[in-house]
Amino acid sequence: MFSENKFRETHRRGSIEVICGSMFSGKTEELIRRLKRAKIARQNVEIFKPAVDVRYSDTEVVSHDSNSIHSTPVENSASILLLSENVDVIGIDEAQFFDAGIVDICNQLANNGTRVIVAGLDMDFKGNPFGPMPALCAIADEVSKVHAICVHCGNLANYSHRLVSNEKQVMLGEKNEYQPLCRACYLRANDQDSGH
């Protein structure tokens, strides 16, 4: 008879870990740290990022601190499933840029025993939930919300304030286009931007 203990020993436990926060909060840094640890443990690791994200590199996930790890750029979430055979740990960066299908893909992978680590912005520059991130947080086994430091007052920041005039939700940017702000400084900055 197949005992429950034997099942536990032979069946890999899948999970979904979400790392979310504002820009410059260390999301990608934390993703890279976890993936490098998995590699040290000799696990088979694969990293994906949206093909649209070419800020620092076409084929690497790169943090603002210039830490990097090789990745596979993909056009859509379905490609992740196709490229994930025999993988123990999957990292996904900039998940907010993926289509809604990313949620089912992550669930499928975790249900099949893969550890899935997802990093992304939880809010856009208007302070609204960003893309599939709320749904990913809802299905995650673990959510880590990381914070930047507010460039105005030094408190913890969880807003990405856009410094340039552009209403498009998706606008790849860095320190010249965005700055991390706490709630109070974000509200003040938006009041000033709207002329109140």
Strands annotated E in the chain: 15-21, 45-50, 60-62, 68-70, 72-74, 89-92, 115-121, 142-146, 148-149, 156-157, 159-162, 178-181
Tell me if residue 94 is catalytic. yes
**Cβ neighbours around 52 below 10 Å, total:** 13
From the candidates 17, 30, 46, 94, give the one annotated as an active-site residue. 94
- Whether 56 and 179 have beta carbons less than 8 Å apart is answered as no
For residue 151, which amino acid is it?
Answer: V
The pair of structure tokens assigned to 79 is: 């490609």
- Start-to-end CA distance of the chain, whole Å, equals 72
Q: What is the DSSP string of 46-77?
A: EEEEETT--SS-SSEEE-TT--EEE-EEESSH
- By annotation, the residues acting in catalysis are 94
